[in-house]
Amino acid sequence: MSMAAAPVRQLDAHTVGELRRAAEKILDEFGTSATSPELLERVAQTADEFSVTLRRHCRPVDTADGLFVLRGLDVDDRAVGSTPASWAGAGDSGAVYDITLLLLATAMGNPIAWEGQQNGRFVHNIVPSPGHETEQTGASSTVLLSPHTEDAFHPGRAHLLMLGCMRNHDNIATTAASIRKVQLADEDIEILSRPALPILPDDAYAEAQGYADEAPPAVPALFASEDGMTLRFDPAYTPVEEADETYRAAYQRLEAELARVSVSVSLNPGEVLVVDNDLVVHGRVPFQARYDGTDRWLKRASVRVPGRPTRPLAEAGEHGYGQAALQAHAA
């Protein structure tokens, strides 16, 4: 795994101030970051008035890396309080940063949430939680969070994933690997472009595990869009053992290539990692949580980009395991 630096977009002091004042004004008006139709409408109105400079920083991912770090926001380690013990108990912890991330997400596209995840909130708190150390979810700690496409099981998954750092005293890294960096034989690309296996919902969607109205849809791991190769990948929730030997071998070569080109991004407080979810799989290195209020704490937002031609048309017919996406505003 490479420690190569991710592309950086540096916010200047004037632009940081613009964003901070906007978030504080919304928080003062609503008194909470818990999203409501009224708050989301105010966020959309505010984002529409952003300066050209701020909008330029929110332009699409534009390199083969498939990601960038937005740098320059301030996080006061003492003022934000202790790292929540779980997302369920986070409430309005770091509320102004919830709104800041939601403003940035709205400038980039259409923020989404999930009815079955973190009570439908549009900004999630990603913290280690006791009892979840070995799961393949954001609440884990002691295991490697395997590289994956965010919400790969669902046809309505985000185009962009945003991870905003609140606290990271231990320099715990997010891993990322772009499909545009790998080298695969044409034969492997052809094999992995066939809809051979399903991708099942992860453990964060407990209600989806019993969804049995229809058989799990088989989906391709790779897709050649008009902009280049994209992927849909989550080996921890893909029954690869059910495929034939040829497919398994091609899948393993894809895994190996993604590992080869993987980079490690250790976020500092105030930095926001923006990942193109069609190009990049992300994960996290293992760490030992202390559960003393000082553990790693990220904020997460998911964004759809209307009209983006990076998904197979066949995805529109998938059932999504009964999970419904909530949209901040109309596409």
CATH classification of the domain holding 152: 3.60.130.10
Q: Report the mean per-residue pLDDT for the chain.
A: 91
Task: Decide if 3 is inside a domain.
Answer: no
So what's the pLDDT on residue 214?
65
Distance, in Å, from the CA atom of 137 to the CA atom of 134, rounded to the nearest integer, reads 9
In a domain, residue 224? The reply is: yes
Smallest Cα–Cα separation from 231: which of 147, 116, 145, 124? 147
Section 230-236 average pLDDT? 96
CB 297 within 8 A of CB 124: no
**pLDDT score of 206 more than 70:** no
pLDDT band with cut points at 50, 70 and 90 for residue 213 = low
- Domain extent at residue 151: 8-327
* Buried b or exposed e, range 236-256, using 16+ CB within 10 angstroms: bbbeeeebeeebeebbebbbe
pLDDT for 331: 52
Residue pair 291/150 in contact by the 8 Å Cβ criterion: no
pLDDT: which is higher, 90 or 267: 267
At 211, the pLDDT band (50, 70, 90 cuts) reads low
Question: Does residue 293 sit within a domain?
Answer: yes
% of the chain at pLDDT higher than 70: 94
Q: How confident is the model at residue 327 (pLDDT cuts 50, 70, 90)?
A: confident
Q: What is the pLDDT of residue 103?
A: 98
The verdict on residue 301 lying in a domain is yes
Nearest-CA neighbor of 30 among 20, 21, 40?
40
Q: Are 221 and 240 in contact (CB under 8 A)?
A: no
63 within domain boundaries: yes
Nearest-10 crossing angle of helices 95-108, 13-30: 110
Q: Does residue 258 form part of some domain?
A: yes
Q: Is the pLDDT of residue 330 over 70?
A: no
CA 120 to CA 92: how far, in whole Å? 14
Average confidence (pLDDT) over 96-105: 98
Identify which of 143, 172, 170, 148 has the alpha carbon closest to the alpha carbon of residue 161: 148
Is 1 inside a domain boundary? no
The yes-or-no verdict on residue 220 having pLDDT over 70 is yes
Question: Which ranges of the chain does DSSP label H, i.e. alpha helix?
Answer: 13-30, 37-48, 52-57, 95-108, 186-192, 245-261
Rounded to whole angstroms, the Cα distance separating 301 from 313 reads 25
CA distances from 196 to 117, 190, 224, 228 (A): 27, 12, 16, 21
Contact 271, 69 (CB under 8 A): yes
φ, ψ dihedrals at 240, nearest 5°? -60, -30
Q: Give the residue among 197, 192, 193 at the shortest CA–CA distance from 217.
A: 197
Residue 200 forms part of a structural domain: yes
Q: What is the mean pLDDT of residues 143-172?
A: 94
The pLDDT assigned to 179 comes to 98
More confident: 287 or 207: 287
When mean pLDDT is compared across 66-70, 188-192, 199-203, 246-250, the lowest value belongs to: 199-203
Give me the mean pLDDT over the 117-126 stretch.
Answer: 90
Q: Pseudo-torsion of CA 9, 15, 19, 22, nearest 10°?
A: -160
Look at residue 23 and tell me whether its pLDDT is greater than 90. Answer: yes
Amino acid 95: pLDDT: 96
Mean pLDDT of 257-280: 97
Could you give the count of Cα atoms lying within 13 Å of 51 in the half-sphere of its Cβ? 12
Given pLDDT bands bounded at 50, 70 and 90, which one contains residue 135? confident
Least trusted range by pLDDT, from 13-22, 128-137, 223-232: 128-137
Residues contacting residue 57 through CB under 8 Å, at least 6 positions apart:
9, 11, 15, 70
> What's the pLDDT at 241?
97
- Between the CA of residue 216 and those of 70, 236, 250, what are the distances in Å? 37, 16, 22
* φ, ψ dihedrals at 166, nearest 5°: -95, -40
**If we measure between CA atoms, which residue out of 16, 27, 197 comes closest to residue 99?**
27
Q: Quick check: 300 pLDDT over 90? A: yes
Tell me the whole-structure pTM to 2 decimals.
0.94
Q: Pick the more confident residue, 31 or 328.
A: 31
Number of domains the chain contains:
1
With cut-offs at 50, 70 and 90, classify the pLDDT of residue 119. confident
**Are 26 and 46 spatial neighbours (Cβ–Cβ below 8 Å)?**
yes
